[in-house]
A and B are shown apart, each in its own frame.
Chain A
């Protein structure tokens, strides 16, 4: 066989017609030097761009589904709903006792002042013990008395501290601004949507850095401990953990290089392949920066995915060239032959990947759209770097002949049972009926298991705190601390009650709003509610000397007006200046998808039933309101995304194979992987959310790579009159082994992420590893089994006869 092959190689070189091949091939290979130089120049430029321009950023607004009803409502009224946008809660603890300690109060003042100066903080609405707007009132025989909670005469004396203590109780801020055990107090920092100086969306990466500096400074002084919770802080922690994320990427790249080298035993070609994939990443980052995008904690995965896909294709090219060189072909001839054989399959696969990412643009959420653009650009770049440049570079360098010979040896008729190919070719039994049937039955069982498990797939967050971070991470510990010590949670869902101008104090509107609050409070996930109606009731009772029998919404307009005015002194968020917008705020026990659904369902039913000319209930504001909107968008787009990805992949496969049977054979194993991935998410407790979407898109993308490379070789063989078993054997030995190597390599490289300190990355690592592996197994086992039934010998001999 080897001798034959070598003769064949000679024939190839002699008979190779430089004018043969497609137009693309001719253009590429007749301008090799130009291409290489061009690549170098562009790479240098891109490197400059990346260094100069690439930025990490994250904004709250960009994570909102811009056209969702809730978000539209929120944007429309956001100016009037201060305190219900994104906010940070900074809890300052006295580790040496309670808050009635002059030293503590002084530290609190300094922290309060420093945080006040942080750009992006909505200064007018900051609330803390030092805010003049935080006031107390008391009912006496003469009427009301009141003042700021921090006594205006405060001088740090024991007497004044005693006054402060009394004011805290009178103001009712215990559990809100002061911990129930008096060991800490809170600075509530509402954040602006955009930077007031630049007008651009507020960058949480910058903001959380500034806040972290303040935190570090005061914790270093040792007098207080600081806990911070809020969405901006989660983003901050993710950005801060990015260096570690990148380290894991580096480790993954190293592992991949090592395995590829062990497989090829050729330093030069391994280095070339890795370089081409890295160049693709460089270009992708450069182009994306030029387009004005920046990296955020979610799209940071994209460069790595581009690299992984690049490796998958690069390995195929390298392998092709290796095999041709092994049979004696000249390196240029080998490169051209490989280009000819695999360019279309590679192009189709990359287009499928690009489409897979592009459908993410269906999501009405800017960060996902940015991610989709970034990934599509990356994949497009790969077409150039790994499908064109890699063969061109290999045509100069070739591969080490000994490595090539070694690789060819495996392709002989009787490969060693212990070699990779030797193991792989055993898979051809799946082209036989008995094995095919059992493989398909097995698959059917998996479909059943996968389907029943995936029914529990949840949208959104499944845990308390920040599921992107480890349960023992600083953020989640801080969150647990706040939940434990404060009565009002940081998960707010606000219903916007809208009335005609100057009508917010009408009895009918307030009564309706009061009833909504009460119905919300019946939900197990709702801890408490806050609304103008409740405040007016309290003030009414207060106005009647605190008599509880007057804890009622009076029908008397004067009583209501007085109550509303008095309430707004203590809390300006209760209604707007035009008296036409007032929120009902529900404090939720957590922001799990279930909890949010309970709330939105109740409010929707309530609004449908009671909305009238006099008042209207609109969702939503508050972090939980926005998250509910995001969940709904993700939920609808989830199925849509799958549908479009599969339609696109099927169309591309059809263009490549010109056989609907081959399309079915390629797509079914992918569908099984998608289904099992959903089941795995259920088992791992991962919900479908912004962070998980790119992984699923990639799962389909990389899966179709495998199928395309395998089936294109198999189909070519069958069309040349080989039996299915022969054709599949050839496919296994040629592209199949690379599929196996790449599958294992990528899986091994990402599984290390499971040890990442960022839980989000760990989850992604496990999911990706599963998909890389399972796509490989699915392709290698199910393609022959399905082929047996759909593209068996009978089918081809029949068409040949025709």
Chain B
């Protein structure tokens, strides 16, 4: 595996020289092809050892539904869950029967979204973007870390030539990361337009359903390169949430993201939005809600550990889950949350309301279905 890394480094160096000399428009594609060829070559040049996570299809595991799972999404009546080791599973209805999808990589996956019952994307570590057109049963790789590095390299060249050395330098840093690109959240507003974000201000967007990607990190007002953990459409705008209280709002005219005032200095783990509210959640039970994007209210709830995920049950009703395996329920748009009585005590990482009574939750020890209990309070 070491050998293979070396090959990649050499190729990037070669690409570097090329990009320095001549900045052809087709370079990006050329570089992509390079990295693909290089990946293919490394498979053959490696007689021993194990394939890299990016090259090894996900292991169809007996206990995949009990593995650490990070994110849930609905695709029509189907629920899709993604997590460690390239695990993607789906369930039709609410029969708790999970089937594992064919996934070409075994990288750890961090987030999933479907825009309709067939079309969805998944992001993860090693810079992977996976795409499905059959409701999550099969997936193809649209982007990987090598390609992301190459895209950074190319863009750095362009910016450097146009005199923006500061941005170019930052993008070069992104290129030096090589395959180590962590995508942690995504948002698609329709089947063509989407943004994926991740570690150290990593951000890319597509306008053609993932066929091509462009780096947009330099359009984000995030000087210290904080990690980006969530993308939320709320109050008619697009927000990006991240480390150390970072809240960014997209300006649709300039397509740039500007930091806005945050009510909390700790890290946000994500957020959930609607036309009339934005709710952000994060460390130490911090849950804040705003109706105008400026004035924030701290939710009234009994929690001391990080909130990891939220889901809308109805226009007014919301659920949250925490690292303590708690489920919180609000019927007033997030102003006040009641703790739901629960038998399980493993950390929850994701929640998805299936209908007004059924929740699907995922976490460290897998995915399961629980019933909402609106009346009872946790003792």
Contacts and interface: CB of A to CB of B under 8 A. Distances in A.
Interface in B1-23: 1-2
Given A512-B49, A611-B48, A549 B306 contact: no
Contacts of A521: 63
Interface in B195-240: 227, 229
Contacts of A518: 59, 61, 67, 85
B180 A551 contact: no
A773 to B, nearest CB: 48
B108 interface: yes
Contacts of B2: 506, 508, 614
Interface stretch (A92-100, A154-162, A540-548): A540-548
Contacts of B363: 548
A544 to B, nearest CB: 7
A546 B49 contact: no
Given A141-B283, A548-B323, A548-B347, A613 B179 contact: no
A506 B50 CA distance: 13
Contacts of A522: 61-63
Given A141-B266, A522-B63, A552-B125, A547 B229 contact: yes
A507 B178 CA distance: 14
A55 to B, nearest CB: 49
Interface in B340-368: 347, 349, 363-364
B70 A548 contact: yes
B229 A555 contact: no
B184 A549 contact: yes
Given A518-B85, A521-B63, A614-B1, A549 B49 contact: no
Interface string A537-569: 000000011111111111110000000000000
A549 B59 contact: no
B269 interface: yes
B68 interface: yes
Contacts of A545: 243, 266-267, 283, 306
Contacts of B330: none
Contact of B110 (A506, A546, A549, A610): A549
Interface string A611-652: 111110000000000000000000000000000000000000
A541 to B, nearest CB: 10
B50 to A, nearest CB: 5
B170 interface: no
Contacts, number: 87
Interface string B47-89: 0111001000001011100011010000000000000110000
A522 B64 CA distance: 9
Most buried by B among A506, A544, A545, A550: A545
B267 A549 contact: no
A519 B63 CA distance: 10
B311 interface: no
B50 A610 contact: yes
A550 B227 CA distance: 11
B349 A548 contact: yes
Contact of B68 (A544, A546, A548): A548
Given A548-B349, A549-B229, A512 B283 contact: no
B40 interface: no
B308 interface: yes
B50 A511 contact: yes
Given A508-B2, A614-B2, A555 B63 contact: no
Interface string A481-525: 000000000000000000000000011100110010011011000
A603 to B, nearest CB: 14
Nearest to B47: A612
A551 B108 contact: yes
B50 A546 contact: no
A508 B1 CA distance: 6
Contacts of A610: 48-50
A539 B306 CA distance: 16
Nearest to A174: B345
Interface residues of A, number: 31
A544 B323 CA distance: 14
Nearest to A524: B62
B207 to A, nearest CB: 26
B227 A544 contact: yes
A567 B289 CA distance: 37
Contact of A547 (B49, B111, B267): B267
Contact of B108 (A140, A508, A544, A552): A552
Most buried by B among A550, A555, A613, A614: A555
B87 to A, nearest CB: 10
B30 interface: no
A554 B2 CA distance: 15
Contacts of B243: 545
Nearest to A606: B50
A511 B283 contact: no
B260 interface: no
Contacts of A548: 68, 70, 308, 323, 347, 349, 363-364
Contacts of B70: 548-549, 551
A610 B56 CA distance: 13
B29 interface: no
Contact of A612 (B48, B61, B63, B125): B48
A611 B182 CA distance: 28
A140 B85 CA distance: 27
Nearest to A555: B180
B37 interface: no
A556 B180 contact: yes
B180 A554 contact: yes
Contacts of A515: 50, 59, 85, 106
A556 B180 CA distance: 7
A519 B106 CA distance: 13
B61 A508 contact: no
Interface string A132-149: 000000001100000000
B45 interface: no
Contacts of B1: 507-508, 614
Most buried by B among A140, A518, A521, A610: A518
B297 interface: no
A636 B85 CA distance: 39
A469 to B, nearest CB: 33
Contacts of A507: 1
B284 interface: yes
Contacts of B67: 518
Contacts of A615: 49
Given A556-B180, A611-B48, A551 B266 contact: no
Contact of B269 (A547, A552, A553, A555): A547
Nearest to A549: B110
Given A508-B2, A511-B53, A548-B347, A519 B266 contact: no
Contact of A614 (B49, B85, B184, B308): B49
Nearest to B308: A548
Contacts of B184: 549
Interface string B33-49: 00000000000000011
A555 B4 CA distance: 14
A612 B3 CA distance: 12
A138 to B, nearest CB: 10
B75 to A, nearest CB: 21
A32 B269 CA distance: 98
Nearest to A503: B2
Contact of A555 (B84, B179, B347): B179
Nearest to B267: A545
The 4 lowest CB-CB distance pairs between A and B, nearest first, are: A612-B48, A612-B49, A508-B1, A555-B180
14 contacts: A140-B284, A141-B265, A141-B283, A141-B284, A508-B49, A518-B59, A518-B85, A548-B68, A548-B323, A548-B364, A549-B70, A549-B184, A612-B49, A612-B50
Given A548-B68, A549-B110, 8 more contacts: A511-B50, A518-B67, A518-B85, A522-B63, A544-B227, A547-B229, A553-B108, A612-B48
Interface of A: 140-141, 506-508, 511-512, 515, 518-519, 521-522, 544-556, 610-615
